[in-house]
């Protein structure tokens, strides 16, 4: 027969508790009037701080709906919800999905998952006018004169 400690260890392992969550839950449980009676309740004590380490869920939903992905968890959540759905579906539908996925993404990220925001490599437009009398100006003038001769 399994001992209570063994049952809790198995349950917390299955729930994928992290070392940080374990330490937070232990610290918080010491100040409670009654200790948690189930491993899931104990784990909830440790996981409440995970969400506070990340940007506000509602603010990030609104940013994602506008196509702004400042944080990697925002982009990953938008991918799971669907970027097209965020832009086209009513908030009553897309926000429910966002509320389902965002905490999971934050939890995965806190456990070490890497969701990176791609860096945009856009070529900057620049125009340098041809200087009168420069070598380039002379070549252009010669080519124009040759084209005029060919068309005459």
Q: pTM of this prediction?
A: 0.49
pLDDT tens-digit profile of 105-139? Answer: 988 888 888 888 777 777 778 888 889 999 999 99
Cα separation of 11 and 42, whole Å?
11
Nearest to 54 by CA among 33, 30, 31, 77: 77
**Helix 91-110 with 39-52: angle, nearest 10 deg:** 100
Mean pLDDT of the chain: 85
Domain locations along the chain: 4-52, 57-110
pLDDT tens-digit profile of 4-55? Answer: 888 888 888 887 888 887 888 888 888 877 788 888 788 777 766 555 678 8
pLDDT tens-digit profile of 87-102? Answer: 899 988 888 898 889 8
């Amino acid at each position: 027969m399994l001992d209570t400690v063994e049952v809790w260890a198995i349950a917390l392992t299955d729930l994928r508790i992290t070392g940080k969550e374990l330490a937070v839950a232990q610290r918080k449980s010491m100040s409670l009037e009654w200790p948690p009676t189930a491993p899931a309740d104990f784990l909830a004590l440790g996981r409440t701080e995970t969400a506070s380490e990340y940007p506000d869920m509602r603010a990030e939903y609104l940013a994602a709906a506008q196509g702004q992905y400042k944080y990697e968890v925002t982009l990953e959540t938008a991918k799971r919800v669907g970027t097209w759905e965020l832009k086209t579906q009513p908030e009553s539908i897309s926000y429910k999905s966002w509320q389902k996925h965002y905490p999971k993404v934050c939890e995965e990220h806190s456990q070490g998952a890497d969701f990176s925001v791609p860096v945009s490599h856009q070529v900057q437009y620049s125009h340098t006018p041809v200087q009168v009398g420069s070598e380039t100006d002379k070549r252009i003038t010669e080519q124009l004169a040759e084209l005029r001769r060919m068309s005459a």
